[in-house]
Amino acid sequence: MALFIVERDLSKVSPEQLRLNQRDIASTCLQLKAQGKGIRYISCAVVPADGRALDLFGADSAEVIKEVQASAGVHYSRIVEILDLTPNFVHRDTSRSRRSLQRGFGAVIDRTAKGTAHTMTEDSAPELARWLTDGQRLFGVCLETLENFERVRSRNQTLESENQMLREEVARLRHKVDVVQADRAEMVAAFNDLAGHVTQVVDHILQKSEDGENTPQ
C-alpha cells in the first residue's frame, strides 16, 4: 500500500466544515474498505499560514483516493504519492504520535466568501485551539464508533453465512431422512408381500396334505 498526500484549500472552509469533511472522508474510507478496496485515512495536518490541509492516506492507487474524495464530496487541489523515508533508527517512542499531532494544531485560517483573510487575535487563539482540540477528540470518537460498527457488521455477516450453512445442512439431513423413510416403507411393503406369498404357499401345501390324508387307501 502506497502513501499519498491530498492537498486541500481551506481559504473558504470554516472550521466546522473542516470537521464535517474529515468525518465524511473517514466514513467513506471505511465503506470502501468494507468493499475490499485498499484504503486507509491516516491523518490530517493543517497549515494555518497558507490555509491548506494535507491529508495522509495509505491506498493501493490514486484512483481509490479520488473515489473517496468524490464520494465524500470534498474538493482537493492535488493528489501526490510520497515515500516514507523515516530512518530505521528513529524509534516510535521518539517520534510524535498521531494524537499528539492532532493536539498540536494551533489555528486554522477562516476566510470569508470573498477570500478576505481575517487576522486571529490573541484572545481568540486559545478559544480556537480549544475548539480544535475538542473537535479532534470528537472526531476520534466518531471514527472509533464507525470502526466498531464495521466490525459488528462484519461479524453479523459471518454469523448470517454460518446460519445459512446450518439451514442448508438441516435441509440436507431432512432429505436423507425422507429417503430413508421411503426406503423403509418400500421394504415393509415388500416384506408384507413376501409374507402373504409364503402364507399362500404354506396353506396350499397344508391343503394338499389334508387332501392326501382324506383319500381312501
- pLDDT for position 158: 86
**Rounded Cα distance, 70 and 73, in Å:** 5
Q: Is residue 196 part of a domain?
A: no
Between 129 and 38, residue with greater pLDDT: 38
Q: Report the CATH number that the domain containing residue 49 is assigned in CATH.
A: 3.30.70.3090
**Residue range 179-206: average pLDDT?**
84
- pLDDT for position 96: 47
Q: Is residue 184 part of a domain?
A: no
Q: Is residue 11 part of a domain?
A: yes
Q: Is residue 179 part of a domain?
A: no
Between 124 and 212, residue with greater pLDDT: 212
Q: Is residue 151 part of a domain?
A: yes
Q: Is residue 66 part of a domain?
A: yes
Q: Which domain holds residue 158?
A: 2-162
pLDDT digits (tens, 9 = 90+) for 104-126: 444 433 443 344 344 444 455 56
Q: Is residue 216 part of a domain?
A: no
- pLDDT for position 72: 92
**What's the pTM value of the predicted model, to 2 decimals?**
0.44
- pLDDT for position 136: 67
Q: Is residue 200 part of a domain?
A: no
pLDDT digits (tens, 9 = 90+) for 32-48: 999 999 999 999 999 88
The tally of domains found in the chain comes to: 1
